[in-house]
Amino acid sequence: MEYITKNIKGDTMGQEEEISIENIEYLLEKYMAFLIKTVSGFTGRYVSVENDEEFEIALLAFTEAVEKYQPQRGVFLAFAKLVIISRLKNYVEKEKKYEKVVSLDALYEEGQDFQTEETENQDNDLHQEILRYKKELLFFGLTFEKLADEAPRHKDTRENALDAAEKAGKDEEIVEETYRKRKLPIRKVSVLAELTEKIIKRSKSFILSVMIIFAKEFPGLLYWIKGTRCKNVS
């Protein structure tokens, strides 16, 4: 990814800053208020930066926006907001598929018999999935914030890392060794993915984090990966 320098509307007049993945830590810190405001505006409630899955999704989406941003897309913050809202909508749609089509009031009015526990939809599934994923990451000493900082800096590198992670996550021997030794078997992943060990080492945390998603078959997060790889936000 080429380095991009862009004036940000709302910044000090004439001030320029680099919108690039290399600068992600600075950008996350500078625009934390923007992230919180965007998520709060979408959810209509107070957002906890530590416990809200919507905020975690927003962090990943902001990183995605930084990576995909080009000057022709206009003002960066407007583009970033578009990406964040798009990913949050994907999250909401993912949850909605678990909801019942017919309202409970309608069922009562029609006199239909049903058990209370059957009325409890699974709208917390993705939330629970993210919590389980966070525990898996902590097992290896990883966090969402660390992954945002260590995400591959170039598009091709990111795609190679995703491919390597998918192959590793579907290889039982590599998964077993990774969990047993609590680290990625770089040489084996290198051979499996047909990439140099140097490339694997550079993205080892990212590859490990995505490998976990494939190995544990987290459906919601697999959906997220598919979205980030296949969708172009316009």
Angle (deg, nearest 10), helices 32-43 and 53-68 = 120
Reference 186, options 170, 203, 171; nearest CA is 203
Q: Cβ-count burial of 120 within 10 angstroms (0-12 exposed, 13-18 middle, 19+ buried)?
A: exposed
- Which residue is associated with the tokens 């970033």? 80
Q: Are 65 and 83 in contact (CB under 8 A)?
A: yes
Give the residues across from 18 on adjacent strands. Answer: 5
Query: How many whole angstroms separate alpha carbon 174 and alpha carbon 171?
Result: 6
- 67 near 157, Cβ under 8 Å? no
Count of C-beta atoms within a 10 Å radius of residue 68: 17
Contacts of 84 (CB under 8 A, 6+ apart): 35, 38, 39, 42, 57, 58, 61, 62, 65
Give per-residue pLDDT as tens, 108-148.
Answer: 344 433 333 333 444 456 777 888 888 888 888 888 777 77
pLDDT higher than 60, residue 232: no
Q: What is the pLDDT of residue 212?
A: 92
> Could you read off the pLDDT of 66-113 as tens digits, one per residue?
998 888 878 899 999 999 999 998 887 776 644 433 343 443 344 433
| pLDDT of the residue at 101 | 36
In the structure encoding, which two tokens stand for residue 141, read together? 């000493």
Short-list 60, 59, 83, CA closest to 70:
83
- Residue 5 has φ and ψ, to the nearest 5°, of -110, 130
Most confident of 9-18, 45-54, 59-68, 126-135: 59-68
Half-sphere exposure of 33 (CA within 13 A, CB side): 1
**Residue 31 in this model has a pLDDT that exceeds 80:** yes
